[in-house]
Amino acid sequence: MTHAIRFHRAGGPEVLVWEEVELGKPGPGEARIRHTAVGLNFVDIYNRSGLYPVQLPSGLGGEGAGVVEEVGPGVTDLKPGDRIAYGSAPMGAYAEARLIPADRLIKLPDGIDDKTAAAMMLKGLTVQYLIRQTYRVKAGDTILLHAAAGGIGLILGQWAKHLGATVIGTVGSDEKAKLAKAHGCAHTIVYTREDFVKDTFLKSLDCLAPLGVVALFGQSSGSVEPLNLGLLAQKGSLYVTRPTLNTYAAKRESLVAMAKELFEVVQSGAVKIEVNQSYPLKDAAKAHADLAARKTTGSTVLLV
Ligand SMILES: NC(=O)c1ccc[n+]([C@@H]2O[C@H](COP(=O)([O-])OP(=O)(O)OC[C@H]3O[C@@H](n4cnc5c(N)ncnc54)[C@H](OP(=O)(O)O)[C@@H]3O)[C@@H](O)[C@H]2O)c1
């Protein structure tokens, strides 16, 4: 028997409960892993609250690090004792141990500790696809980045600066502005005070140069209303995309290549992973409340 955070109905943080779970042996193509640290992500809130409907009861969480305990039939490239991490996998990371498709696991290099790995996989792989694939950032580009002091924000700011871009970050407070500036942002806008209505997607369109690209990768500030495509012409032949990590990391070879690039920028020191909050896994509800209340900065991990 092992323990996991699960929920039986959609709702606030209080629906998260700590339960005993029977795991069994890994099936074909699966591995059983024991977590040491689990990553917290805003998408966990969407899944818990019912914004993204999930079949209930359910586990939660898509990012974690730990060690392989056992592999199922057909798994040849992993063995018990291997240190692994993942950021693109079926939900169920909020658990002491779990079964997981082995082809979602990435072996960890020695230079990356478990807490850092749990804090960077889902977020770092997202940043990889956003600035290396959705739009390939190059020296001289200017980027407007919302929630620049958040988990994604601190990683994207540093990586984009490393690529030679000028990053303008919007943030909710002066303290967050300082942090964003220390992590790649050349300029910050405290949108609660200065003239930028962050909750309005259309305002982001107004910030673009002709032929500019909007990558709408999240909706912490609320869902976007249907868009009149004619506006894209009026505002300068703009591009809009709504990408998700699941699409970009769907194939094993893509996932491996993306993780390789991420590990390179982290190990070279170009991108520092800031774990600014940690909570015991059992207290996931408190972590959710703090993330939703904008109290966190950088990455947050749940320790097992
Ligand atoms: N599409 C994908 O593949 C993908 C993958 C990963 C994450 N995401 C998305 O990326 C975004 C960032 O994720 P994250 O986990 O790194 O979270 P995060 O940025 O650490 O936290 C969310 C931040 O959003 C800002 N915010 C603005 N309006 C808010 C509101 N009404 N409620 C709460 N926060 C609000 C807050 O910063 P300020 O106080 O500075 O405003 C808050 O700290 C999320 O929308 C997430 O869903 C997308």
Q: Amino acid letter at 299?
A: S
For ligand 1, atom 5: residue with the closest CA:
126
Mean pLDDT on 69-94: 98
List all residues 6 or more positions away from 154 whose beta carbon is below 8 Å from its beta carbon.
148, 179, 180, 183, 184, 274, 297, 298, 299
Q: How confident is the model at residue 149 (pLDDT cuts 50, 70, 90)?
A: very high
Q: How confident is the model at residue 201 (pLDDT cuts 50, 70, 90)?
A: confident
pLDDT above 90 covers what percent of the chain? 91
Q: How confident is the model at residue 194 (pLDDT cuts 50, 70, 90)?
A: confident
The reported pLDDT for the residue numbered 4 is: 98
Is residue 151 lining ligand 1, measured as CB closer than 6 Å?
yes
Q: How confident is the model at residue 219 (pLDDT cuts 50, 70, 90)?
A: confident
Measured in angstroms, how far is the CA atom of residue 25 from the centroid of ligand 1?
36
The reported pLDDT for the residue numbered 270 is: 98
Hey, is 141 helix, strand or coil?
A: coil
In the predicted model, what is the mean pLDDT of the chain? 96
Specify the ligand 1 atom closest to the Cα of 292.
33
120-145 per-position pLDDT tens digit: 999 999 999 999 999 999 999 999 99
**pLDDT of 274 strictly over 70:** yes
**pLDDT of 222 strictly over 90:** no
The reported pLDDT for the residue numbered 199 is: 58
Helix runs in 208-283, H state only? 230-234, 245-248, 252-267
Mean pLDDT on 224-240: 93
Residue whose C-alpha is closest to residue 245's, from 23, 102, 43? 43
The reported pLDDT for the residue numbered 223 is: 81
The reported pLDDT for the residue numbered 239 is: 96
Is residue 300 lining ligand 1, measured as CB closer than 6 Å?
no
Question: Measured between alpha carbons, how far is residue 61 from residues 12, 16, 39, 104, 238 in Å?
Answer: 15, 12, 7, 14, 34
Mean pLDDT on 145-165: 98
Burial of 119 by CB count in 10 Å (0-12 exposed, 13-18 middle, 19+ buried)? buried
Q: Which of 181, 248, 262, 294 to mutate to test the pocket of ligand 1 (most atoms within 8 A of CB)?
A: 294
13-49 per-position pLDDT tens digit: 999 999 999 999 999 999 999 999 999 999 999 999 9
**pLDDT of 146 strictly over 80:** yes
The reported pLDDT for the residue numbered 18 is: 98
Specify the ligand 1 atom closest to the Cα of 40.
15
Specify the ligand 1 atom closest to the Cα of 222.
31
CA distance 78 to 75: 7
**pLDDT of 224 strictly over 70:** yes
The reported pLDDT for the residue numbered 202 is: 80
Among 19-23, 27-31, 203-207, 228-232, whose mean pLDDT is lowest? 203-207
